[in-house]
Structure 1
Amino acid sequence: MTPFAVFAFLLILTTLALLFPGLWFGLRRRAVDADRKQANLAIYRDQLAELEREHAEGSLADEDFAQARTELQRRLLEEVSPQDEASVSTTQRSRPTAITLLFALPLLAVAGYALLGNPLALNPEKAVAQPQMTAEDINAMVEKLAARMQENPDDTNGWLMLARSYKMLGRYDDAVAAFGKVEKAVAEDPEQLASYAETLAMASGKGLSGKALELVNQALKLNPQHAHALFLAGMAAMERGDRSAAIGYWETLLSQVEPGSELDQMLRQGIEQMKQKAN
């Protein structure tokens, strides 16, 4: 049992210890009080009988008798007030309430934790972090996805996921083939066009030219401020020796980059070097 479970169990026991005695033994205390009141009532009856006897004998004047009887009746009414009867009635229901709490409180605590908490955390063996996926596991998942795409060739999102997976694994030719399956579907998506262009450049090993550059220009036509496309356009301009165009693309990109980040520093260095060479 975990420390949390022990603490929760002790907390429930403490709560029951505070509530249970008052509910369970309350009736017994009321019974003692009732016995005491019955004794007091008997005394008051005796006193009233004594007053009536003295009044009948003439030893107690009418006025004194009326005053004494009124005071005695007031004290009698206090002993049998309706509030006492209500308290006894409520207390008589205390034991069923105590029994209900005894069973319901732990059950409600467990049910509440099952709904709102993390039951697996109570089991140390299950709470241990699961081992990370290995390269073999990832490759197996990618192959499974590739097999599924052969059965569902119209699944655009599936092909894009497969293309990104191949690209991540360095299987650029396979990634290009996967992008080619959905080329028309991504024609209006700047990010997918930029990713496709980057993958083509990596697969060919010849840089951003030809179809790859066409895809970059298409992405910028859709969104002139697209960060990924601006970066690739600057790279393509550098490759063909167009420093002015490269500086323009990257300076536009700088406004979108977090100041002081690695990309910010790399872009500024590249821009500075190109400006120095231009001079």
Structure 2
Amino acid sequence: MLWFTMAGMAAFAALAAIWPVLRPSRPPADADPAASEAAFYKAQLDEIQRDVERGLLPQSEATSARAEAARRLISTGAESPKPASPSRNRLRLAVAALVAVGVPVIALPLYVYLGRPQLPDEPLASRAPASLASSDIEAAVAGVEAHLIAKPEDGKGWAVIAPVYMRLERYEDAARAYSEALRLLGEDGARRAAYGEALVAAAGGVVIDTAREAFAKALDEEPGQPQARFYLALAAEQDGRKADAIRDYEALVADAPPDAQWVEAVKARLASLKGESPPQAAPAASAAVPEAQKAMIESMVSRLANRLASSGGSVDEWARLIRAYTVLHEADKAKAALADARKALAPDPNAVASLDALAHDLGLGDAN
């Protein structure tokens, strides 16, 4: 079918090219001197007739003038145009034949060479998301941002761009977008929980106080909301309230739908808390499970650690780093960060005391 289509297209292109060559053309009157002269004498005859009608020219003079003008008109030969010469017709036919044959002869090899018809088609639906250029995504985000600058009260716009910010690891922007969407569109349990998750991601995986408030409010709006329940269990784990964390994780697993993809990952975390061997778990697909975002958290923690190592920071920032390593089950790094924090904050007894309390809560050893 493809080749028939291509043949038809080639024939149409060739016809379009040779039609002007085959079509008989008639030059304009002003391009032929003989035609111009004939037009002049015809006009002269008409003028003679008008002069006679107006009484400006006697009949005897008019007759002789008509005869002279008619003679000259006949001599121009304008009444019988010459047919095209055989040589000219042959030239036109030769050009038409050359175009008709040359167009497909040249076009087909060019298509085979440049068009690569042997490649299979690639429907848009089957293309991998990675094939989308990052510049296209950035351009789309920039377009939405420009729209929101012009219309900051568009709650749906904020709701649309918030999860995109999360995928782009722009967590603070995501938190702000979710906050605006909640303000403009009203409370929604799932959106409030997503807002809390963005706050956790921006804090390097630590469930900070504002995130806890968001998850608690999400449960008020939607009791049983799994994302909020998970992060509150994680908060208990980070606080060193191991028994509470185990209880909350177990309740979350017990209430989970049979087809929930995040259950196995929660079971693995539960087993880790209990000191048991984790079950064989399928990869978690839920945004509520940190294992599914481990690379994201590690990236945030790495940036925080580098900044604290080079520029120092407050006791809260050091505590955030230590808790983040604990969340990632990297006890050695947590202990190293604790030692660095004690050294950096040694001149502040209150900060050191806060670090000692944190070490005790997280089970990182004694204060010294």
TM-score by length of 2: 0.38
Higher relative contact order (CA 8 A, sep 6+): 1
More helix per residue: 1 or 2?
1
TM-score by length of 1: 0.50
